[in-house]
Amino acid sequence: LNAEHRKNIDFGLKLDTIDYENIKIIYHGKLEYRKELLIKNIFLKKDEFYSLENTEYTYTRLSGLKTFKFINIRYEKNYEYPNSLDCYIMLSASQKKSFTIETQGTHRGGNLGVAATAITRNKNSFRGAEVFEVKLKGGLEAQSLTDEEKLDLAVQNEGKKGLATTLFNTLEYGAEISLFVPELVYPKKSALLPRYTEPKTNIGIGYNYQKRPFYDRWIFNVGLKYHWRLGQFHKFVFSPIDLSYIDIEKDSVFAARLKEIDNTFLSNSYSAHLIPSSSIGYFYSNQDFEKNSNFMYLKLNLESAGNALKVLSQPLKLNQNLDGNYQAFDVPFSQYVKVDFDLRFFEVLTQHSTIVYRGFGGIAVPLSNNSSIPFEKSFFAGGSNNQRAWTARSLGPGSINDTISYRSFDQIGDVLLGANVEYRFDILKMVEGAVFIDAGNIWIQQKDNQRVGSDFDFKRFYKEIAIGAGIGARLDFSFFIVRLDAGIKIRDPSLPEDERWIHQSKNKYNTYYSDFLSRTDSDKLEIFESNGGYQRFNMKFNLGIDYPF
């Protein structure tokens, strides 16, 4: 550096200099970052030709460290060496430590709630731009209940008031500890990937407790994830280790109902289990935020669980339970393969109107060590983000009839198909309207004699596609959107085949349901008959945060 250049960056401070791999690192006081970290993210080398691509890539990589509040890359002519340039990269560190408290409204599967989170972060924890984060969170949620569930709660509580009988009937709290490293941390001698951006390794451990109306659930999780981008549009998330332990304590009424039904699928869903999984996800989006133009979004996910542990079950001499399933730490572990996708296309019609097309689906195949998919990994239908004419987890599986006792449980499956079309248009500056059509359902793969019509069959699955339609309004507050959607059932697969469309008579269903209630619940029969039977124009309202997709 000549005297003029030195003076331009000196600012009257006492500076120190480190020469490392033909790059001068000039700093004041203590160098807060390892020199290897800085050099690894600079892709401008001595005696190379000027490259705009390498300059932009260097800026992107340095920005991806999330530890600098100011980054400036500039070139100046070198008068000592004709036809040469000096490159200056000016970096200013952001605040190292922070503590924040966040309050929020939550919206999961059609259930609304309130939550608060306390977060403490320490940036550059080990002089490598790492971020060490601790979260403490808690919340309340209003979980929708069926009539059967409300009756069970009344019996269980014997008229006493408690959390289960209040509006916010679900309590949840937990803690997470995470370390974010701005690099792909894995044993390597050389990079195995092409030029990538925003690399990040996330190592985390978490604990979560959920108190629900019929059971308490504890979830412990340990995970390792890699995040990176290839180019502008492609993002990958690879999780080689994601270990979850779920323990459930059921109340006496809920346990008695499970025992009465005696269904292996449901029993496994509400039992303690271990999920040792790995997954890889691919995300594509060509959205240009500076242009109001058409764009596409695609998400693909592949997940595998328990396969390595099953192979090692005999060498490790793992115990087996009464069902013949191998156990780790005296808990059966899940074994399955799961694939799912979500494809969306946004067509901009005018400056004030857009139409969005969406198709999504997936399949989860249980393997030999467990006959069913864990509850947490299963698919569901209904709610504010897919079939909005049905309440959350109330649709399906298949054409299962809604009069049977299974309706007091969340409806889950291992096959999912769905599609949505939504027309969005501006009404006022902060108010947007929508008209939508939703279609889809869930199924299970194996026939279940206790749940006739719930299995996926190529000969009839298309007859079991549920269709709903409706209108919506959105309030746009810039930083978030409040959404209200109202939908009605156009085609209900739980009805007899010749009564599923909204315009068809419901005589068979009404007769069957009346007979069912006369044998099971005379009070409900009186209400059902006073309402005139099946309510074909019964509108479901969904309150949500942000767009449904």
Q: Is 165 in contact with 75 (CB distance < 8 Å)?
A: no
Helix, strand or coil for residue 7? helix
Distance CA 461, CA 439 (A): 13
Amino acid letter, residue 494: S
Per-residue confidence at 535, pLDDT binned at 50, 70, 90?
Answer: confident
**Predicted pLDDT of residue 112:** 65
Confidence of residue 146 (pLDDT cuts 50, 70, 90): low
d(CA 433, CA 483): 10
Q: What is the distance between the alpha carbons of residues 132 and 123, in angstroms, rounded to a whole number?
A: 6
SS3 of residue 411 by DSSP: coil
Ranked by mean pLDDT, the top range of 144-148, 163-167, 476-480 is 476-480
pLDDT tens digits, 46-71: 888 999 989 988 998 888 888 888 89
Q: What is the pLDDT of residues 469-507, one digit of tens each?
A: 999 999 988 777 888 999 999 999 988 888 899 988 888
Mean pLDDT of 372-379: 87
- Per-residue pLDDT at 148: 54
242: Cβ–Cβ under 8 A, 6 or more apart, which residues? 221, 222, 223, 224, 225, 275, 276, 277, 278, 279
Any idea which of 456-460, 514-518, 544-548 has the lowest mean pLDDT?
Answer: 514-518
Q: In which residue are the tokens 């008959």 written?
A: 529
Highest mean pLDDT among 44-53, 292-301, 402-411: 292-301
pLDDT attached to residue 421: 97
pLDDT of residue 89: 92
Q: How much is the pLDDT for 510?
A: 82
In angstroms, what is the C-alpha Rg of the chain? 29
Nearest to 225 by CA among 210, 240, 235: 240
How confident is the model at residue 2, as a pLDDT? Answer: 41
| Predicted local distance difference test score (pLDDT) of residue 431 | 93
Q: Is 395 exposed, middle or buried (0-12, 13-18, 19+ CB in 10 A)?
A: buried
The amino acid occupying position 67 is: T
Cα–Cα distance measured from residue 203 to residue 205, given in angstroms and rounded to the nearest whole number: 7
Which pLDDT score, from 0 to 100, does residue 340 have?
96
- The most distant pair of C-alpha atoms in the chain lies apart, rounded to whole Å, by 99
Residue of higher predicted confidence among 353 and 143: 353
Of 225, 111, 255, the C-alpha closest to 172 is: 111
Give 377's contacts (C-beta < 8 A, 6+ positions apart).
Answer: 275, 303, 305, 334, 336, 338, 364
Q: Tell me the C-alpha to C-alpha distance, in Å, between residue 541 and each of 231, 239, 486, 524.
A: 41, 37, 4, 23
Return the C-alpha torsion angle 193, 199, 201, 207, nearest 10: -130
Enumerate the β-bridge partners of residue 439: 419, 467
**pLDDT given for residue 145 in this prediction:** 57
Does position 410 have pLDDT exceeding 80, yes or no? no
Please list, in sequence order, all residues whose beta carbon lies within 8 angstroms of the beta carbon of residue 482, skipping any fewer than 6 positions away. Answer: 474, 475, 543, 544, 545
C-alpha closest to that of 69 among 45, 40, 93, 100: 93
Mean pLDDT of 424-450: 91
**Is the separation of the CB atoms in 194 and 169 below 8 Å?**
no
Please, are residues 342 and 357 in contact by the beta-carbon 8 Å criterion? no
Structure tokens at 111: 């259930």
Which of 3-17, 172-186, 409-423 has the least mean pLDDT?
A: 3-17
**Prediction pTM value:** 0.81
Q: What are the tens digits of pLDDT across the range 102-125?
A: 776 655 555 567 788 999 988 888
* Three-state helix/strand/coil letters over 338-389: EEEEEEEEEEEEECCEEEEEEEEEEEEEECCCCCCCCHHHCECCCCCCCCCC
**Average pLDDT of span 453-477:** 92
Phi/psi at 483 (nearest 5 deg)? -125, 135
Confidence of residue 3 (pLDDT cuts 50, 70, 90): very low
